[in-house]
Amino acid sequence: MDLLDTLIAKGLRRELPTREEALAVLATTDDDLLDVVAAAGKVRRQWFGRRVKLNYLVNLKSGLCPEDCSYCSQRLGSKAEILKYTWLKPEQAAEAAAAGLAGGAKRVCLVASGRGPTDRDIDRVADTISAIKDANEQVEVCACLGLLSDNQAERLKAAGADAYNHNLNTSEATYGDITTTHTYADRVDTVQKAHGAGLSACSGLIAGMGESDEDLVDVVYALRELGSDSVPVNFLIPFEGTPLAQEWNLSPQRCLRILAMVRFVCPDVEVRIAGGREVHLRSLQPLGLEVANSIFLGDYLTSEGQAGQADLDMIKDAGFTVEGAGEATLPRHRADAAAAAGHGCGGGTSAGGSADGAAA
pTM above 0.75, yes or no: yes
> Which of 26-35, 298-307, 349-358 is the least confident region?
349-358
Q: Across the strands, what pairs with 56?
A: 108
Element housing 141 (H / E)? strand 140-144
Quick one: pLDDT at residue 80? Answer: 63
Quick one: pLDDT at residue 353? Answer: 43
Element housing 107 (H / E)? strand 107-112
Question: How confident is the model over 166-204, as pLDDT tens digits?
Answer: 999 999 999 999 999 999 999 999 999 999 999 999 999
Report how far apart, in Å, the C-alpha atoms of 110 and of each of 24, 117, 147, 162 are: 36, 13, 14, 11
Q: Kindly state the average pLDDT of the residues 123-143.
A: 96
With a cut of 90, say whether residue 331 has pLDDT above it.
yes
With a cut of 50, say whether residue 76 has pLDDT above it.
yes
Residue of 238, 229, 209, 186 lying closest to 359 (CA atoms) = 186
Quick one: pLDDT at residue 338? Answer: 72
Please tell me the number of Cα atoms within 13 Å of 332 on its side-chain side. 0
Q: Which amino acid is at 208?
A: G
With a cut of 90, say whether residue 305 has pLDDT above it.
no
d(CA 234, CA 230): 13
Quick one: pLDDT at residue 342? Answer: 63
Active site residues: 65, 69, 72, 109, 142, 202, 272
With a cut of 50, say whether residue 348 has pLDDT above it.
no
> Which of 57-71, 174-188, 299-313 is the least confident region?
299-313
Q: Which amino acid is at 138?
A: Q
> Which of 6-15, 72-81, 276-285 is the least confident region?
72-81
C-alpha dihedral over 21, 172, 184, 210, to 10 degrees? Answer: -90
With a cut of 70, say whether residue 208 has pLDDT above it.
yes
Q: Kindly state the average pLDDT of the residues 48-75.
A: 88
Question: How confident is the model over 3-30, as pLDDT tens digits?
Answer: 999 999 999 999 999 999 999 999 999 9
With a cut of 80, say whether residue 343 has pLDDT above it.
no
Residue 32: pLDDT band (50, 70, 90) is very high
With a cut of 80, say whether residue 299 has pLDDT above it.
no
Q: Average model confidence (pLDDT) for the chain?
A: 90
Contact 231, 269 (CB under 8 A): yes
Residue 298: pLDDT band (50, 70, 90) is confident
DSSP annotation string for 278-301:
IIIIGGGHHHHHTT-SEEE-S--S
Contacts of residue 181, Cβ cutoff 8 Å, sequence gap at least 6 = 66, 67, 68, 69, 76, 115, 360
With a cut of 50, say whether residue 347 has pLDDT above it.
no
Q: Across the strands, what pairs with 205?
A: 169, 233
Quick one: pLDDT at residue 325? Answer: 87
Quick one: pLDDT at residue 337? Answer: 76
d(CA 223, CA 266): 9
Instruction: Give SS3 for 118.
Output: coil
Q: Across the strands, what pairs with 142?
A: 109, 163
With a cut of 70, say whether residue 79 has pLDDT above it.
no
Quick one: pLDDT at residue 24? Answer: 98
Quick one: pLDDT at residue 345? Answer: 39
Contacts of residue 323, Cβ cutoff 8 Å, sequence gap at least 6 = 51, 52, 53, 54, 106, 329
Residue of 352, 355, 193, 113 lying closest to 121 (CA atoms) = 113
Instruction: Give SS3 for 92.
Output: helix
